[in-house]
Structure 1
Amino acid sequence: MAAAPLPDFNMAEPALWQPGTDDTLECVLVRDETHDVKTFVFRSQQPRRFRYLPGQFITLELEINGAAINRCYTLSSTPTRPDTVSITVKRVPNGPVSNWLHDHMQVGQTVKVLGPSGEFSCFLHDRPKYLFLSAGSGITPLMSMSRALTDLVLDRDVVFVHSARSPADVIFAREQQALARNNPSFRHAVICERAGADRDYAGYQGFLSLATLSNIAPDFREREVFTCGPAPYMAAVRKILEAAGFNMQQYHEESFAFETLMGGAEEAQPPAAAAGEGYTIRFAKSGDEVRCAPPQTILAAAKATGMRLASSCTQGLCGTCKTKMLSGQVDMKHAGGIRQREIDQGFILPCCSVPLSDVVLDR
């Protein structure tokens, strides 16, 4: 394949990537991070620059073994380097998407995507001090934030604590060391369950605890906390912070392990409503309207008409499709993908919401 031409920096900048209009990315690099983690770097086929919040995700629209599967991956890249985006993917046992990406995604291939989108970003919460807590591939959104804060030379005090099974499983280990060397406001620590084959490992061993956290960041109660990792890890973090009297209004978390939760399954949906049946679902920003007849969910009705909405689990687990309802009533049976305070603010998950009236959504 011919090499891409060097850009002409004297020419006008490319147009911005427009989510909802632009939808095709080309893989330009595949990089091994650990024995079971790879980074996939993409750029737009047409000259585009990407603008997004560090910590946001994109939704890949794939066809695997004849089945259409959507899967969300947080961008590990930073918008301060706007010409490419990247995702960093851990191979999940029996995970259809992660295994397909590891085995089949190559330089030159294209993929359909939605987004970027999402609200998990320290750039939505401007504070002088942050504490980033991650485990496994949950490091990706926090790495995006760290790269952006460093590139912008912002005066923010960051402590980044990452948990892994062993030193060989630490993602971005060398880059985190480089960030700490080049940015006096950035400190990082690694906690490994075991030393594994690394006899020279001298870092923290075991699991994150209040004692370990207090040793690494004695002022953690003063920090805005962002957490990403497997559900048991995030539950442990919440328990530690709550026991320490931490103000949980300063706590933010992002779930990502959809394949672990789902096993790659998606539930079958009832057929689309016939003309005149059900209720009208109006999307305020796009102007689109669809008909939805119970027991069909709003997401299923939208997809049946060809609309492309960001979604992943389709079962109320992940929160990817979270949307504010401007008017109407729904019966929502979620599985933990939305918090009560978000419901109180008018948000719903279209993937598990059946309309009880005409509905207007802020999309």
Structure 2
Amino acid sequence: MAGQPALTVTADAGIWKDDEILECCAMVPEAPNVATFSFVSPSGNVFRYLPGQFITLELPVPGGTVWRTYTISSSPSRPLTLAVTVKAQEGSIGTRWMLEHLRPGMKIKATGPAGIFTIQPREQKKYLFISAGSGITPSLSMTTYLYDRGAGTDIVFLHCAKRPSDIICRQRLEMMAARVPELKLYFLVEEDDPYLVWTGLRGRLNQLMIGLIAGDYMERDVYCCGPEPFMNAVREMLIGLGYDMDRYSQETFVAPVKTEEQLPENDDVILDEAAEASVTFATSEITASCSETDTLLAVARANGIVIPSGCTFGVCGTCKTRKISGDVHMVHNGGISEDDIEAGYVLACCSHPIGAVELDA
């Protein structure tokens, strides 16, 4: 097409540096308020980066220039173009400008690439990618890279969205999964789209789903990206399942970091088997010593106290018990409401005592 940059690599092609401008070569709508923008180097240079890294774009919005950071959604295995997939949130300025004004042929400045949320290119591992919303972009880049490499593509890809129409780059992922049996795709939605059939998973992510979707999750490196509350919940689930958190990596798509020193401290609760705790059952007038790794239900049973229970995995809510005092660490799977938690109730099957705890049981 006339006026479009030629996508060819010459023998003397160099590596794109951020002192060179980017030229938009394509804009593809992906979902409501979501689009993928692809860029080329006008000089014919190629792009070199690691899958999962980000780039910062200089956007000439009305009222003054703004700088916005986006994860690169393309793969370094396809070096002719560099792409970002952006989603306009409520109050977005830069991203909204891109959706409404940035088109093929326009040129913008950029800096990068940078970031440490990435896989090691030459390693062959088993992966579990967990994402929500536009946090899908680093997983998309990593998956495309592993797909193109053609070896070691053992991936369980789990993405959570509000509704099926909000799943970003769904067709691209399904195309890859159709050709590589080792790539397993799972989409989890909270709501259906009107007049469209959805036969996939529904609800919110919980520990049970992780075990059902990736039964060998203990053998996989986990990469997670999404809103902060989502990633906090995923960490809690994995810790509760006994996962080795040294193999867990995450990045917020709001403010990715460039170096390990910039990583935020995660206030995770790690239960210690050697830490002493105690549970007092007020109604039964029994106090029992235990470890932080014991559940309240296990302590009750060991001392002849009957707390009704069903699933023993935080789903059914049968073991809901009122906590009179003390702190517990509870990772449930939907079997208790936020109102009950605020009222002091816990699920005995998935709650662990931190220090001294007293129950109405």
Query: Displacement of 1:221 after TM fit?
Result: 1.3
Partner of 1:332: none
1:248 matched to which residue of 2? Answer: 245
1:195 matched to 2:197? The reply is no
Shift of 1:2: 2.7
Compute the displacement of 1:63 (Å): 3.1
How far the C-alpha of 1:133 sits from its partner, in A, is: 0.3
Is contact 1:167–1:196 with CA below 8 Å preserved after alignment? yes
| Counterpart residue type for residue 53 of structure 1 | L
Q: What residue in structure 2 maps to residue 338 of structure 1?
A: 263
> How far apart are 1:112 and its partner, in Å?
0.6
Counterpart position of 1:44: 41
Q: Residue 29 of structure 2: which of 32, 45, 70 is its match?
A: 32
Q: Which residue identity does 1:18 align to in structure 2?
A: K
In structure 2, give the amino acid aligned to 1:184.
P
2:160 and 2:5 mapped to 1: Cα distance?
A: 40
Q: Distance in 2 between matches of 1:18 and 1:323?
A: 23
RMSD: 2.1
Question: Is 1:172–2:97 an aligned residue pair?
Answer: no
Structure 1 CA distance for aligned equivalents of residues 35 and 179 of structure 2 = 25
CA contact (8 A) 2:188 2:205 kept: yes
Q: Please give the alpha-carbon distance, in whole angstroms, between the structure 2 residues aligned to 1:102 and 1:91.
A: 8
Q: Is the 8 A contact 1:195 1:201 kept in 2?
A: yes
Deviations 1:82-117 (A, max 9, x none): 011010011111111111111111111111100111
Q: 1:168 to 1:323 in 2, by over 3 A?
A: closer
Say which of 51, 72, 91 aligns to 1:75: 72
SS in 2 for 1:41: strand
In the superposition, the TM-score normalised over structure 1's length comes to 0.69
Q: 1:210 aligns with which of 197, 207, 210?
A: 207
**Distance in 1, Cα, partners of 2:248 & 2:85:** 24
Query: What TM-score results when the alignment is normalised by the length of structure 2?
Result: 0.69
Aligned partner (choices 55, 63, 66) of residue 66 of structure 1: 63
Amino acid aligned to 1:211? L
Return the offset for 1:125.
Answer: 8.7
Q: Distance in 1 between matches of 2:85 and 2:179?
A: 23
Answer yes or no: is the 8 Å Cα contact 1:60–1:113 preserved in 2.
Answer: yes
Confirm or deny that 1:110 pairs with 2:107. yes
Counterpart in the other structure of 1:352: none
Does the residue aligned with 2:35 lie in a helix, a strand or coil?
Answer: strand
How far, CA to CA, are the matches of 1:99 and 1:5 in structure 2? 25
Judge which range, 124-133 or 200-209, deviates more. 124-133
Residue of structure 1 in register with 2:17 after alignment: 18
Residue number in structure 1 paired with 2:339: none
| AA partner of residue 2 (structure 1) | A
Contact 1:167 1:198 in 2 (8 A): no
1:150-200 per-position Cα deviation (integer Å, ceiling 9, x unaligned): 011022311000000001111111111111111122111000001122542
Q: Do structure 1's residue 86 and structure 2's residue 11 form an aligned pair?
A: no
Shift of 1:66: 2.8
Aligned to 1:238: 235
Equivalent pair of 2:3/2:105 in contact (CA under 8 Å):
no
**3-state SS of the aligned residue for 1:102?**
helix
Distance (whole Å) between structure 2 residues aligned to residue 139 and residue 118 of structure 1: 16
Identify which of 112, 128, 132 aligns with 1:131.
Answer: 128
What CA distance in whole angstroms lies between the structure 2 residues aligned with 1:40 and 1:150? 21
For 1:19-55, what per-residue CA distance to the aligned partner results, in whole angstroms no more than 9, with x for missing partners?
Answer: 4x33x10111111101221011111121110111010
CA distances 1:269-310 after superposition (whole Å, capped 9, x unpaired): xxxxxxxxxxxxxxxxxxxxxxxxxxxxxxxxxxxxxxxxxx
Separation in 1, partners of 2:7, 2:12? 10
**Quick one: distance in 2 between partners of 1:319 and 1:8?**
31
Give 2:15's aligned amino acid. L
Aligned length: 266
Indicate the percent of aligned positions where both proteins have the same amino acid: 37
Measured at CA, do residues 107 and 6 of structure 1 come closer, stay the same or move farther in structure 2, by a change above 3 Å?
Answer: closer
Q: Give secondary structure in 1 for the equivalent of 2:29.
A: strand
Shift of 1:69: 1.7
The change in CA–CA distance for 1:31 and 1:7 in structure 2 (over 3 A counts) is: closer
Query: Would the aligned equivalents of 1:25 and 1:44 in 2 still touch at CA under 8 Å?
Result: yes
Distance 1:7 1:252, change over 3 A: closer
Aligned to 1:297: none
How far apart are 1:6 and its partner, in Å? 5.0
Aligned to 1:145: 142
- What secondary structure does 1:15 align onto? coil
Q: Indicate conservation of the 8 Å contact 1:38/1:90, yes or no.
A: yes
Q: Equivalents in 2 of 1:8, 1:206: separation in Å?
A: 45
Which has more radius of gyration? 2
1:184 aligns with 2:210: no
The yes-or-no answer on 1:101 pairing with 2:98 is: yes
Quote the Cα distance in structure 2 between the aligned partners of 1:101 and 1:57. Answer: 17
Shift of residue 18 of structure 1? 2.4
